[in-house]
């Protein structure tokens, strides 16, 4: 299952804002209060692993080199994957 993630600004020179669009829960037991956020660099190395509690949050890449990064957000059983370009 997928969840939609909006990421801006992309490309970025530092950080990005991420907003998760969950849509309606399939059943009343589904709760997406925790968003598990993982960012990997081009080699697959994990550079960030956080748990966010709101659907809009910031990811700071200012201390990382320019390049492409992969953002993965898991909300319950749903997953969003986005590419982030850092200039």
CATH number at residue 14: 2.60.40.10
Q: Which domain holds residue 63?
A: 4-22+31-86
Total structural domains within the chain: 1
Query: Which residues have CB under 8 Å from 30's CB, separation 6+?
Result: 76, 77
Identify whether the C-beta of residue 24 lies closer than 8 Å to the C-beta of residue 32. no
| Confidence grade of residue 77 (pLDDT, cut at 50, 70, 90) | confident
- Angstrom CA distances, 19 to 27, 29, 39, 45, 66, stand at 22, 22, 15, 24, 23
Q: What is the pLDDT of residue 65?
A: 96
pTM score: 0.86
Whether 28 shows a pLDDT value over 50: the answer reads: no
């Amino acid at each position: 299952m997928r969840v939609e993630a909006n990421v801006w600004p992309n490309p970025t020179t530092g950080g990005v804002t991420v907003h998760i669009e969950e849509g309606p829960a399939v059943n009343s037991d589904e709760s997406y209060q925790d968003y598990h956020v993982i960012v990997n660099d081009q080699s697959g190395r994990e550079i960030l692993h956080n748990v966010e509690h709101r659907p809009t949050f910031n990811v700071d890449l200012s201390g990382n080199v320019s390049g492409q990064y992969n953002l993965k957000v898991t909300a319950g059983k749903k997953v969003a994957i986005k590419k982030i370009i850092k200039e």
